[in-house]
Structure 1
Amino acid sequence: MKILAFGEVMMRLMPPDYKLLTQTNNLEYLFTGTGVNVLSGLYRLGNEVYFSTVLPKNSVGYAAADHLRKLGINDKLISFKGDYMGMYFLEVGVGRRPSKVTYMNRRESSFGKSDIGDYDINKLLEDKDAVHICGISLALNSNTRNCAKMLAKEAKKRGIKVIFDCNFRPSLWNENERALAKDEYIEMLNLADVVFAGEKDAELLLEIECPSNLKEKEKLEYLIGKMRDIFSIDLILGTIRKGQGEEQQIQGYLLNENGLILSDLYDLIIYDRVGGGDGFAVGAIHALLNDYADDDIVEFATCSGVLAHTTYGDSPIVSIEDIERLKNGIYMDLIR
């Protein structure tokens, strides 16, 4: 399958050995972003993947493009303009201390300052089976919002599947933009065929009210079901995390016209937390585009997400064989 992602490339900078920024003079860096993570994972599963973004026209931008190529992502649709790239610092938590992410320079980045003239929509959508758009594109500014919506509208006209990851980040919207955020998400959700979303998106962002007497599964089914009905979405997927610290579990869900389907509950061993949700999305998109049955889509996606927590960096690097082994309950501590 041929999949295009639209979104931001970021530089991740991380102190080694669980240190805080105040404790080190050394930082490890890599290039990441929701679209990067999803495409790299889909490439590992045998798909043809393309990224649409704008990178700075300097050594940092060229290094980012080189990194994307190493991940199997086609960079021929990327433009180079401007001087800056968005960054985030990740201080990895341990024990009771949570991990902390600090964002820098996102609105001033080359992607943040891009506009519709930087993208050849016809070329972007040529021969594509699906388009993936991250909700963070709605948060940066009006230009990136307009680009994301234009791409979704054109894809919809051509019968290309529109996949939207809500990825709502309150920290990227100020208090005065709350109504704007809701309106922008509503417009995008009306264009989407497949959506990754959770209860918080329905309640806190879209302000869908839920009866207070519903239990956990009933509440999820009610809120996500309302969201699906309001926006005529084919399929909504997401994950439920349970537990805390070193004892966490994850369960995937899928809701379509056949109702709510839950995966098995899996224990999580977390080596690198960031990008775990993207790992779930990778498995879901691959299974969906390859016509897996509903039960298999949610199980395959959840296993993909579980394994994404076990590898370094944001980008999933697991194979179909890895996912199928976990899905089928096959444990191997050494493969020779």
Structure 2
Amino acid sequence: MSTQQFQLARHASPRWAAMALGEVMLRFDPGEGRVRNVRQFQVWEGGGEYNVARGLSSTFGHATAVLTALPRNELGLLAQQLIQAGDVDSSQILWREYDGIGRNTRMGLNFTERGFGVRAPLGVSDRAYSAASQLQPDEIDWDTLFGVHGVRWLHTGGIFAALSEHSAQTAIAAVRAARRHGVAVSYDLNYRASLWNSHPDPDAARHANCAIAAECDLLIGDEYSFAACLGMDLADLGRRETPMDVGPADAAALRAMERFPNLQAVAFTLRDASNAARNGWAGALRNREALFVSAAREVDLLDRVGGGDAFVAGVVHGLLEGLGEQAAVELGAAHGALAMTTPGDAACTSREEVEAVARGDGAAARR
């Protein structure tokens, strides 16, 4: 069967291959311990949107930037240094003056346990009134950003859009401006019950998600997130026979593409998380003509956080490079698997290592 390849506009000399719009948090990692009794944390930077840009830069070598806001204090400066260490351009950060106690703006914090065996991973966010949640759409000159500097791909997500009414409107303004300038847009619905359960108006959040999805080329989500975040009635699709059953998510993807004509493709992961230390894992990509599914593998997990974001980075890399949908989903699944073998949100890996895993090379020691 012939399939039409993902279409990307061409820019003469874009400054960045990809830009992420979202919140960057400081992640406090208790390692093998638990937040409630640990005495020492490792600190990483992370965020669902930013992690994609970091993977595209540090693993795949693309020029990327993050569009976010940080408080002008020691925590904001720490986040900036970590962003720069990940080879992501920090020049588009908006800085907020700090009042000394965080009443007006603050750094978002995330305390995350990795889980083990029957003990599930646990995330405890402390992010209300963060600098990024207060981003306003009229603070950014979108025409200069996309039209003068040049960006090939914009990625944002439902975590950022759900932070506040301001962040939702900023995301909507960004994707509309990106489409106006021929920039490809991806949006990871990234449903988080903790955010949605505390949202003052879930219906308003769904309207915002739909407004963003309408401008997207690539939407990341499955039947569960489509129902929760977009308000789609998918009850007739039934439940998955197994966690790795692709059928309901594929059917939901086809309906999403009917609803949103600009969509070229939908991507999603498949995960069997019956044990926190070992997961079944695969990725899928549906365009308007065919379904592409990666090789399935059992992944021994050191830290599952960031696996989905690394999957998205691998898929976007494959599409940016014109490698085709099957190669894109294989690279995404391999990159996600590797991200879950190292601590922190990001994959400490290389393009060559990702390609080796995607090919199915063994894990024999290299000397």
Specify whether residues 37 and 212 from structure 1 end up closer, same or farther in structure 2 by C-alpha distance, changes over 3 A only: closer
Query: Which residue is 1:238 aligned to?
Result: 268
Code of the residue aligned with 1:303 in structure 2: it is A
Offset at 1:178?
2.0
**TM-score (normalised: structure 1):** 0.94
1: distance between equivalents of 2:70 and 2:254? Answer: 38
Residue 185 of structure 2: aligned partner: 162
Give TM-score scaled by structure 2 length: 0.86
Instruction: State whether residues 21 and 50 of structure 2, in contact with CA within 8 Å, keep that contact through their aligned partners in structure 1.
Output: no
Aligned to 1:90: 112
- Structure 1 residues 84-139: Cα deviation after superposition (integer angstroms, max 9, x where no partner): 111111123222111111111x2311111222343232333221101111111211
Match of 1:119 in 2: 140
Query: Equivalent pairs: percent with the same residue?
Result: 25
Q: May I ask how many residue pairs the two structures share in their alignment? A: 334
Which of these residues, 130, 134, 158, is aligned with residue 109 of structure 1? 130
- How far apart are residue 34 of structure 1 and its match? 1.7
Stretch deviating more after TM superposition (114-123 or 47-56): 114-123
| 1:111–1:223 distance in 2 versus 1, CA, 3 Å | same
2:281 counterpart of 1:250: yes
- Find the counterpart in structure 2 of residue 228 from structure 1: 257
Q: Is the 8 A contact 1:239 1:252 kept in 2?
A: yes
| Correspondence for 2:220 | 196
Shift of 1:311: 1.3
- Corresponding position: 1:32 with 2:46: yes
Instruction: Decide whether the 8 Å contact of 2:169 with 2:208 is kept in 1.
Output: no
Whether 1:185 aligns to 2:209 is yes
Query: What SS is found at the alignment partner of 1:267?
Result: strand
Residues 218/273 of structure 1: CA separation in 2 closer, same or farther (3 Å cut): closer
Equivalent in the alignment of 2:102: none
CA distance in 2, matches of 1:213, 1:172: 26
- Alpha-carbon RMSD across the aligned residues, in angstroms, is 1.8
Q: Report the Cα distance in structure 2 between the residues aligned to 1:121 and 1:213, rounded to whole angstroms.
A: 42
TM-superposed deviation, 1:334 = 2.4
- The Cα offsets for residues 255-282 of structure 1, whole Å up to 9 and x where unpaired, read as 1122222111111110111000011011
What residue identity is the alignment partner of 1:112?
Answer: S
- CA distance in 1 between counterparts of 2:87 and 2:170 reads 25
Q: Which stretch of the first structure deviates more once superposed, 318-327 or 69-78?
A: 318-327
Equivalent residue letter for 2:27 = R
**2: distance between equivalents of 1:101 and 1:213?**
29
AA aligned opposite 2:43: Y
1:2 aligned residue? 17
Match of 2:160 in 1: 137
Distance in 1 of aligned mates of 2:237 and 2:28 = 42
C-alpha distance in 1, partners of 2:200/2:131? 25
Q: Is the 8 A contact 2:162 2:199 kept in 1?
A: no
* Greater displacement, 174-183 / 287-296: 174-183
Q: 1:75 aligns with which of 85, 90, 113?
A: 90
Q: Which runs of structure 1 show a deviation greater than 6 angstroms over 4 or more consecutive aligned residues?
A: none
